Structure 1
Amino acid sequence: MAGIKEIRTKIKSVQNTRKITKAMEMVAASKMRKAQDRMRAGRPYATKVRDIAAHLMQAHPDYTHPFMVERSNVKGVGIVLVSTDKGLCGGLNTNITRLVLNRIKEFDQKGIKVQATALGNKGLGFLTRIGTNLVSQEVQLGDKPNLERLIGALKVQIDDFVDGKIDAVYLATNRFVNTMKQEPVFVRLLPLPSGLSDPFQTEGTFQEKSEDAVLNTKYGWDYIYEPDSKSVIDDLLQRYVEGLVYQAVAENMASEQSARMVAMKAASDNAKKIIGDLELVYNKTRQAAITKEISEIVGGAAAV
């Protein structure tokens, strides 16, 4: 009977676990829709800012913004790692941290110094464990990206790039492809690519494409500037870089909820299967115990 009691306890424990994973799956499904809406809503903003900035720079080729200057001798780089604050989302964080670790090893082999910024608690823990030079961080981002909080951590890397302390800034995040697939990407944030092509589109293609996402290179008109074209370009490119990081965080949050929903569904299905197996063992053990008792009773009666 002790074996039967243990099996019954295990069944009850797995049932309780399944209730938790099922609830987390439903919560993640609800948050996933909102996160995907925010992610898609941010794409047109970044596209339009990129178009306007490209128009202005083509109209004034004599002025080159510091964000656009390529540096031949790269001695130091910055990495902005976007991750989640919580776990239980499958291999989402593992995939992006593995990619970042490989890139850091490549930089180390070339003698390039690396400094990092962590956006998300899981990325912060990873960068701390491997001993990376951590210059800024922002954790507990919540379910909705807040640009004001992101700017503070990002500004450290941007200022170091402008001052010449580092020669490039890279952005590592999870790109949302669809509910079942999230792709880790490692793209260059600074210096910006010529023509301001979308770095996410350059490294990998979003599932959704439109004609607005294709950057035209020929313009026959110009803007009226206030106060002057240089100030407008400076401000626009600053906003564009911030918009890219905001979009990266939004992509990662959509990926997080999708991955968590899939992971919790798999956990619930596995728990259901384990419960079925345990119930089968329970019934067999119980049947064996009953048969044994009947045999003992019949044997005792026959002996009398």
Structure 2
Amino acid sequence: MSNIREIKRRIRAISNIQHVTGAMKMVAASRLRRAQSRVWAARPYAQKTAEVAGRLALSPNAQTLPLVASREVKKTAYVLIVGDKGLAGAYNANLIHLTEDRLVKEGQPAGLVVVGRKGLQYFRRRSVEILKYYVDIGDEPDLSLARELARQLMDIFLSGQVDEVNLIYARFISALRNIPQVERLLPIETPSVEGTETIDYIYEPEPVGVLEAILPRYCEVKVYQALLEAKASELSARMVAMESATKNSAEMIEQLTLSFNKARQAAITTELLEVATGAEALKAQG
């Protein structure tokens, strides 16, 4: 009987967990729809901004601008964008391991700017220089946060504290797939012109003046897009993880129910045998 009570207790506990994971899956799916819409809406603008900035960076005097000029890389900054919460499968772990791998392979000193509590909790216990950190981002990254982060990154780069700034985040592909990747933010990357048709645009004022004006906006947009992509990827990973947990709970309940029925049947059989044995004993005595 104690075994039966233990199985019933486990079934009840797993059923409660199943209700929680099912609710979390529905919440994540609802938030994912909004996050996905923001990603699709912002991506064309971010791509066009990067294209225009890249073309302007090819102009003859563009290398005079500090945000464009390449220099010897003595120290690199990595901006890691992860979640504030767990229960998202391997989402946070994959990004943290990618960052750790880049830091290990880095041939020169490197610093870390962490966006997300999970990344801060992990790297705070490691011998890694944390330049800045941001936590409690929420499910809807605000443009003001992107502006603040972009301004901090530009200040770090312009002050000479670092010579290169890279973003590490998960690019959102679909509700079932995201790709952890590393993208350079500063200095600005110039597109390859080999094998492509070059168009001679006319800029007013001169290209360097236009580039100098849009570079801060370019950094803000790129950081904002990375935050949106990361949040959509996190929510999709959480939705998939909670769906998997709900299915696993149902399988465990099914297995435990079968074990419960077997144990109950064995207990009933044992009681019937005891009653029959007792009756036969009474007959023998009579």
TM-score relative to the length of structure 2:
0.91
Deviation at 1:229, TM superposition (A): 5.6
With 287-296 and 121-130 compared, the bigger mean Cα shift is at 121-130
Partner of 2:103: 104
- Do 2:56 and 2:62's aligned partners in 1 also have CA atoms closer than 8 Å? no
Instruction: Say which SS state the counterpart of residue 195 (structure 1) adopts.
Output: coil
Partner of 2:237: 259
| Equivalent residue runs for 1:201-212 within 5 Å | none
2 CA distance for matches of 1:217 and 1:80? 34
Runs of 5+ unmatched residues, structure 2: none
Runs of 5+ unmatched residues, structure 1: 198-215
Deviation at 1:147, TM superposition (A): 2.1
| Equivalent residue runs for 1:221-240 within 5 Å | 221-225=201-205, 230-240=208-218
- Do 2:55 and 2:190's aligned partners in 1 also have CA atoms closer than 8 Å? no
Partner of 1:47: 47
2 CA distance for matches of 1:286 and 1:57? 76
Q: Which residue, out of 270, 279, 286, partners 2:257?
A: 279
Partner of 2:224: 246
CA gap 1:219/1:15 in 2 versus in 1, 3 angstroms:
same
Q: Deviations over 1:174-233 (max 9, x none)?
A: 111222221111122111112399xxxxxxxxxxxxxxxxxx7633442334xx765532
Matched, 1:174 2:152: no
Partner of 2:77: 78
- Do 2:61 and 2:208's aligned partners in 1 also have CA atoms closer than 8 Å? no
Between structure 1 and structure 2, the one with the greater Rg is: 2
Matched, 1:185 2:181: yes
1 CA distance for matches of 2:253 and 2:244? 14
2 CA distance for matches of 1:120 and 1:114? 19
Partner of 1:213: none
1 CA distance for matches of 2:142 and 2:174? 23
TM-score relative to the length of structure 1:
0.86
Q: Deviations over 1:141-193 (max 9, x none)?
A: 11111121233234333212112221111110011122222111112211111
Partner of 1:145: 141
2 CA distance for matches of 1:55 and 1:285? 74
Q: Deviations over 1:61-119 (max 9, x none)?
A: 224321221123x2111110000111101000100100100111112xx2x11111111
Instruction: Say which SS state the counterpart of residue 80 (structure 1) adopts.
Output: strand
1 CA distance for matches of 2:239 and 2:53? 38
Matched, 1:157 2:153: yes
CA gap 1:145/1:217 in 2 versus in 1, 3 angstroms:
farther
> Which letter does structure 1 place at the counterpart of 2:74?
K
Instruction: Say which SS state the counterpart of residue 155 (structure 1) adopts.
Output: helix
Matched, 1:133 2:113: no
CA gap 1:220/1:42 in 2 versus in 1, 3 angstroms:
same
Task: Output the aligned Cα RMSD.
Answer: 2.0
CA gap 1:95/1:156 in 2 versus in 1, 3 angstroms:
same
Aligned length: 280
> Which letter does structure 1 place at the counterpart of 2:231?
M
Identity of aligned residues (%): 37
Instruction: Say which SS state the counterpart of residue 129 (structure 1) adopts.
Output: coil
Partner of 1:269: 247
Partner of 2:61: 62
1 CA distance for matches of 2:153 and 2:75? 11
CA gap 1:242/1:103 in 2 versus in 1, 3 angstroms:
same
Instruction: Say which SS state the counterpart of residue 191 (structure 2) adopts.
Output: helix
Deviation at 1:57, TM superposition (A): 4.5
CA gap 1:144/1:94 in 2 versus in 1, 3 angstroms:
same
> Which letter does structure 2 place at the counterpart of 1:36?
Q
> Which letter does structure 1 place at the counterpart of 2:154?
I
Instruction: Say which SS state the counterpart of residue 115 (structure 1) adopts.
Output: strand
2 CA distance for matches of 1:254 and 1:24? 15
